[in-house]
């Protein structure tokens, strides 16, 4: 560190001794000596006290000498106290050439410094001197062995006595003085000895530290080399592994190329096979294409045949008349056999299944004793005798059911007195079996079966079923088990443009299989039978109407057809004894009469081609409007009881049926777009 004070430069070196401090001490001693020594006037030269009696040192400082009286004698300071000592030195008003002294020490004792910080400390101290003391007019540049390797070098503290002794010997007689000098020298030597000892201790500590450091480094080195060894071992292992992997890879490559060869040969084989198959497929495709042509041709022919069949079928139906009547006489039930074992009043023809006669012995006009047999002959489209099976009856109507699928509205109803077998004919008995199934389930089965067959010709069908009851001119849904109160069922057109009728709030069920319809029939039957016990056989005084809406479409030919198949179990046609009927019973009777006579009127009006057909006069005729008339096919079952007691009712039924049978309603039209 360089320091400039008043332009002069001092190069000071850190060292164990500070001349200043020794000077101070020496001066103090000198003071003491001057008091005792005869050399009282001798002026102490600070430079003279400098170490080892360097001959080059100037003999005397030209700087003003510090006042010895004001100097305090301190014990010799070690290096650590140097700044303090110098500060103290500086704080005094001594005027002496400290800077030059330090400079000389630095130049002559470059090896004195032990540690660099001593140099720094010294420089700092000198700075303190420079700044604090104006008297010390010196400039010091402190450089030196800062940072140099410390060396234990001790500079002997300056001694005034030694210097004095060196410069001037005591006379031989001055034994006291000599003794005192020697004492001083001894003291100095002791001081130096203790300094040496402390320095040595410091050095030893430092040396120990160095040794420890060395030891630690050695240990670290050992660890590092063992790590290196380990890593080298790992490296070797890795290299070995790598070699193994390379060998394996080579193996895999070889296997792979072998496999590739095999696969390529297989692939080639497959390709040739494939080419053969493709050729085969192409051949088959051309065959299929030609077959498709044949099929299309056949389909076209089939379609034309089907059209022809429908046309002829319709012609046959027309020839049969659009209202056909089938008469069925039920057998005598086991429960009735006691009263009536033989049916005598009903006669059938042996060779004609279209005629039926009722005979009755009536009193002759000529005499009381003679009874004349009165015979009433009727002819219908078919007459079924009591032994006729359900299957036989259905055969007669199955063509009509087919018409429903072809797009015609079809209405089949059963007319007859209560107990004549209407419900048995239309639905079947309560304990239904495939053999005794009625017309409704049979019709449904046939429709689903035929629809399935027609699929191959491109026809798809949607079926929607409903089942209702008309009682006292009010409608009731037979498919709703728990009806909500105050629900109004109204017969309405589907929309302004449509001719199709529907009933508001009625349950329309889309059905996809016959079983579903069988279930619906069972539900309706159960509902009607509940009413039967609850309201004095209400079922006999109500009409039940099962309707199946059929929507067919042929995507191949862009054809659509809609139709409704209605199967109606009419209320009992028996005439009630009006004279005994009162209140509800009378109203009921009137309602039945109204609806049945309305049905008769509608049929008559259609037959007579009247301009106004009174459909709206009853709920039944209004509901069946589209199924009675113009574009519909109607079939009436007239059910007859075999019991003689029912003779007059049977006669009435047959008369009514006969009238209907005479009707020719016109040509039915196909509902096709
Ligand atoms: P309706 O519905 O006209 O009042 P039903 O169909 O209830 O008459 O028939 C009355 C009774 O006669 C029922 O017990 C029924 O099972 C039975 N019956 C009706 N027709 C036949 C038939 N063709 N064969 C056997 N039993 C029949
Ligand atoms: Mg019935």
Helices and strands per DSSP (H, E), number in the chain: 13, 16
List pLDDT tens digits, range 117-128. 444 444 444 444
CA–CA distance, 419 with 327 (Å, rounded to integer) = 15
Q: If pLDDT is split at 50, 70 and 90, which confidence band does 578 have? A: low
In the structure encoding, which two tokens stand for residue 276, read together?
């053969």
CB of 428 closer than 6 angstroms to any ligand 1 atom: no
In the structure encoding, which two tokens stand for residue 598, read together?
């309305």
Q: Long-range contacts of range 574-577, CB-CB < 8 Å, 24 or more positions apart?
A: 574/417, 574/418, 574/649, 575/649, 575/652
Residue 318's Cβ-side half-sphere holds a number of Cα atoms within 13 Å equal to 14
CA 426 to ligand 1: nearest atom? 6
Beta-strand pair 459-471/509-511: antiparallel
Q: Give 311 Cα–ligand 1 centroid separation in angstroms.
A: 36
CB of 421 closer than 6 angstroms to any ligand 1 atom: yes
Q: If pLDDT is split at 50, 70 and 90, which confidence band does 317 have? A: low
CA–CA distance, 13 with 149 (Å, rounded to integer) = 13
* pLDDT, average across residues 263-281: 94
CA–CA distance, 85 with 73 (Å, rounded to integer) = 11
CB of 641 closer than 6 angstroms to any ligand 1 atom: no
CB of 661 closer than 6 angstroms to any ligand 1 atom: no
7-16, 33-42, 170-179, 192-201: range with lowest mean pLDDT: 7-16
CA–CA distance, 119 with 324 (Å, rounded to integer) = 145
Q: Give 188 Cα–ligand 1 centroid separation in angstroms.
A: 159
| CB neighbour burial string for 274-288, b if at least 16 within 10 angstroms, e if fewer | eeeeeeeeeeeeeee
CA–CA distance, 209 with 151 (Å, rounded to integer) = 16
Q: Give 435 Cα–ligand 1 centroid separation in angstroms.
A: 15
Q: If pLDDT is split at 50, 70 and 90, which confidence band does 555 have? A: confident
| CB neighbour burial string for 509-547, b if at least 16 within 10 angstroms, e if fewer | eebeebebbbebbebbbebbeebeeeeeebbbbbbbbbb
Of 213 and 163, more confident: 213
* pLDDT, average across residues 228-248: 95
* pLDDT, average across residues 355-384: 82
* pLDDT, average across residues 268-276: 94
Beta-strand pair 632-640/323-329: parallel
| CB neighbour burial string for 203-224, b if at least 16 within 10 angstroms, e if fewer | eeeeeeeeeeeeeeeeeeeeee
* pLDDT, average across residues 447-469: 91
Note whether 129 and 86 are within 8 A (CB). yes
What is the pTM (predicted TM-score) of this model? 0.56
In the structure encoding, which two tokens stand for residue 625, read together?
């409007």
List pLDDT tens digits, range 634-670. 899 999 999 989 999 999 999 999 888 887 665 555 5
């Amino acid at each position: 560190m360089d320091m400039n004070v008043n332009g002069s430069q001092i190069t000071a070196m850190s060292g164990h001794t500070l001349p200043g401090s020794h000077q101070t001490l020496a001066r103090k001693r000198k003071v003491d000596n001057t008091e005792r020594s005869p050399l009282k006037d001798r002026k102490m030269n600070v430079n003279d006290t400098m170490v080892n009696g360097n001959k080059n040192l100037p003999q005397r400082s030209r700087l003003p000498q510090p006042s010895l009286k004001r100097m305090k004698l301190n014990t010799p300071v070690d290096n650590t106290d140097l700044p303090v000592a110098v500060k103290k030195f500086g704080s005094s008003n001594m005027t002496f050439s400290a800077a030059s002294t330090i400079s000389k020490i630095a130049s002559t004792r470059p090896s004195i410094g032990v540690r660099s910080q001593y140099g720094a400390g010294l420089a700092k101290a000198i700075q303190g001197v420079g700044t604090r003391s104006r008297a010390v007019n010196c400039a010091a540049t402190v450089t030196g062995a800062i940072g140099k390797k410390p060396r234990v070098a001790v500079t002997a503290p300056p001694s005034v006595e030694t210097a004095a002794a060196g410069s001037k010997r005591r006379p031989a007689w001055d034994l006291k003085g000599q003794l005192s000098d020697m004492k001083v020298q001894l003291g100095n030597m002791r001081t130096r000895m203790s300094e040496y000892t402390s320095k040595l201790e410091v050095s030893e500590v430092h040396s120990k530290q160095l040794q420890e450091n060395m030891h630690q480094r050695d240990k670290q080195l050992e660890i590092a080399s063992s790590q290196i060894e380990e890593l080298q071992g790992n490296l070797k292992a890795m290299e070995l592994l790598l070699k193994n992997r390379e060998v394996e890879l080579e193996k895999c490559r070889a296997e792979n190329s072998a496999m590739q060869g095999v696969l390529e040969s297989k692939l080639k084989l497959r390709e040739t096979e494939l080419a053969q198959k493709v050729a085969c497929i192409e051949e088959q495709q051309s065959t299929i294409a030609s077959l498709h042509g044949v099929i299309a041709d056949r389909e076209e022919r089939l379609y034309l045949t089907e059209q022809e069949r429908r046309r002829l079928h319709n012609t046959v139906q027309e020839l049969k008349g659009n209202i056909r009547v089938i008469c069925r006489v039920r057998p005598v039930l086991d429960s009735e056999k006691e009263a009536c074992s033989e049916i005598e009043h009903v006669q059938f023809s042996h060779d004609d299944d279209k005629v039926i006669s009722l005979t009755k012995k009536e009193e002759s006009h000529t005499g009381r004793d003679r009874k004349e047999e009165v015979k009433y002959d009727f002819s219908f489209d078919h007459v079924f005798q009591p032994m006729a099976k359900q299957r036989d009856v259905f055969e007669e109507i199955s063509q009509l059911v087919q018409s429903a699928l072809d797009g015609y509205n079809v209405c089949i109803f059963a007319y007859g007195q209560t107990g004549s077998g209407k419900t048995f004919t239309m639905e079947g008995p309560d304990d239904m079996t495939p053999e005794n199934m009625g017309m409704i389930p049979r019709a449904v089965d046939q429709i689903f079966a035929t629809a399935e067959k027609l699929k191959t010709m491109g026809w798809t069908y949607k079926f929607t079923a409903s089942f209702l009851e008309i009682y006292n001119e009010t409608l009731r849904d037979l498919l709703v088990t728990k009806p909500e109160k105050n629900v109004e069922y109204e017969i309405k057109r589907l929309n302004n443009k449509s001719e199709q009728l529907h009933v508001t709030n009625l349950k329309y069920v889309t059905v996809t299989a016959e079983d579903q319809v069988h279930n619906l029939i069972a539900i309706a039957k159960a509902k009607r039978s509940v009413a039967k016990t609850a309201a004095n056989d209400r079922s006999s005084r109500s009409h039940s109407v099962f309707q199946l809406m059929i929507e067919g479409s042929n995507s191949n030919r862009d054809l659509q057809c809609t139709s409704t198949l209605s199967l109606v179990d009419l209320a009992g046609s028996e005439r009630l004894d009006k004279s005994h009927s009162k209140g509800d019973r009378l109203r009921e009777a009137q309602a039945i009469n109204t609806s049945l006579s309305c049905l008769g009127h509608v049929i008559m009006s259609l037959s007579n081609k009247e301009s106004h057909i009174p459909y709206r006069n009853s709920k039944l005729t209004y509901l069946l409007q589209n199924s009675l008339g113009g574009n519909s096919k109607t079939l009436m079952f007239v059910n007859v009881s075999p019991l003689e007691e029912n003779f007059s009712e049977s006669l009435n039924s047959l008369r009514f049926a006969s009238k209907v049978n005479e009707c020719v309603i016109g040509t039915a039209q196909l509902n096709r777009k």
